């Protein structure tokens, strides 16, 4: 079997355009991957086509070899384009062997995957709204919720914004009680001093973690915050080299890492990052803020990991049409999802439906602007 062509399809999700990768072969079997990257679109699509020159004619049933060839061919590069192609090759391998991805990765460590809700707080940044929405989700079976209560704060707070942020967290905790875990998102926004002060204030709410309180790639700053507060720190979504996880975990102050599958090298890279974490007795909660395809792929990976912690889940809070363009994505059921038993990752892209939602130049998240949490245009 040989790779004969690589295509891309952009789908205009309102707050982040999704970039899908389709790898085609001479035997008629194709694989689906994703190259969505942060808030960039066209550059990642171009990367897929440019990098394709390294893999045309290669055997797609050897995804690790494919990735290494791209890595070396781009002078030790990495990123969503390479990961998208690699994921598509894993999909082809599974279809060729008639086996689901989780089985190719060594089997399941658990039958179902616990999830936390994200993207659920599209509304006014007021305690009552957050409390009411959180209550609804707890009643539906969610056992963990993640949210960023910090508005447009950047490095420091202005006025009474710190107090307001803590009021939002208190309202959610009061609404759902102690049986629902809260994951507090920092979005890389704070200085070390601010992060330490906020982290200490969070302790009374007993959150599962304080995520990326400072710039994720600032490992010394992250370590300082983690050592200064009682709340666990989670980080790692910006890392694009495995050595960064090794460096972070060597300090033994962070025990929850969040590799981004699209940044760290696709399926193989995520597994390697998880192995590094396992060697440091740390847990893994893969980052996932892309399309539902990544929900499915990360679900397969998480099912195979002995040190899995919890799974990020946006799917129920995306545009309703996302279920129309992608079939085979795991469905939420009382706090959990399950990986598919279909060959490969089990997801199919409906190209005709996808064409109804084209690229939008204003489809990006204005994270440090007022009202970004509404995720509108």
Reported as type and span, the H/E element at residue 277 is: helix 266-279
User: 92: helix, coil or strand?
Assistant: helix
Q: Is residue 144 a contact partner of residue 176, using CB atoms and an 8 Å limit?
A: no
User: 329: helix, coil or strand?
Assistant: coil
Q: Is 187 a catalytic residue?
A: yes
**Among 44, 49, 287, 300, which one carries the catalytic annotation?**
287
- CB 14: neighbour CB atoms within 10 A? 16
**Among 44, 71, 187, 345, which one carries the catalytic annotation?**
187
Q: Compute the residue count for the chain.
A: 377
Q: Is residue 237 a contact partner of residue 290, using CB atoms and an 8 Å limit?
A: no
How far is the CA of 148 from the CAs of 43, 137, 188, in angstroms?
Answer: 28, 16, 11
The closest alpha carbon to 343, from 61, 43, 37, belongs to 61
**φ, ψ dihedrals at 109, nearest 5°:** -85, -20
The closest alpha carbon to 260, from 227, 218, 226, 217, belongs to 217
Q: Is residue 7 a contact partner of residue 35, using CB atoms and an 8 Å limit?
A: no
**φ, ψ dihedrals at 358, nearest 5°:** -75, 170
Q: How far is CA 22 from the centre of its chain?
A: 20
Q: Is 44 a catalytic residue?
A: no
CA distance 219 to 148: 21
Q: Is residue 255 a contact partner of residue 282, using CB atoms and an 8 Å limit?
A: yes
- CB 258: neighbour CB atoms within 10 A? 23
H helices of 116-253, in order, are 127-139, 161-176, 192-202, 219-228, 242-250
Residues with catalytic function? 187, 287
């Amino acid at each position: 079997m040989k790779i004969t062509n690589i295509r891309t399809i952009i789908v205009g999700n309102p707050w982040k355009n999704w970039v899908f990768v389709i790898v085609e072969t001479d035997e008629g079997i194709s694989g689906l991957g994703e190259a969505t990257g942060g808030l960039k679109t066209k550059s990642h699509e171009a990367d897929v086509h440019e990098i394709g020159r390294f893999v045309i004619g290669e055997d797609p049933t050897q995804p690790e070899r494919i990735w290494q060839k791209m890595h070396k061919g781009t002078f030790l590069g990495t990123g969503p384009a390479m990961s998208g192609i690699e994921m598509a090759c894993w999909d082809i391998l599974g279809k060729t062997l008639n086996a689901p991805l989780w089985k190719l990765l060594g089997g399941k460590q658990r039958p179902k995957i616990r999830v936390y809700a994200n993207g659920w707080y599209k509304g006014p940044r007021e305690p009552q709204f957050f409390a009411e929405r959180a209550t609804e989700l707890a009643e539906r079976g969610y056992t963990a919720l993640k949210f960023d209560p910090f508005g447009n704060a950047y490095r420091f707070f202005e006025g009474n914004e710190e107090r307001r942020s803590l009021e939002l967290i208190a309202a959610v905790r009061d609404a759902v009680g102690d049986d629902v875990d809260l994951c507090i998102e920092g979005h890389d926004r704070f200085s070390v001093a601010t992060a330490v002060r906020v982290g200490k204030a969070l302790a009374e709410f007993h959150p599962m973690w304080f995520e990326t309180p400072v710039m994720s790639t600032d490992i010394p700053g992250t370590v300082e915050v983690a050592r200064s507060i009682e709340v666990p720190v989670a980080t790692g979504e910006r890392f694009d080299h495995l050595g960064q996880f090794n460096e972070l975990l060597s300090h033994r102050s962070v025990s929850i890492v969040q590799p981004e599958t699209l940044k760290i090298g696709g399926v193989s890279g995520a597994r390697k990052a998880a192995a590094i974490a396992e060697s440091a007795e740390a847990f893994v909660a893969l980052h996932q803020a892309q399309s539902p395809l990544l929900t499915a792929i990360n679900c397969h990976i998480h099912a195979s990991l002995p040190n899995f912690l919890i799974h990020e889940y946006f799917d129920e809070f995306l545009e309703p049409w996302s279920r129309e363009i992608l079939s085979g994505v795991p469905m939420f059921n009382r706090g959990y999802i399950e990986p598919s038993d279909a060959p490969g990752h089990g997801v199919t892209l409906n190209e005709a439906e996808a064409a109804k939602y084209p690229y939008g130049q204003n489809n990006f998240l204005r994270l440090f602007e007022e009202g970004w949490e509404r995720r509108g245009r």
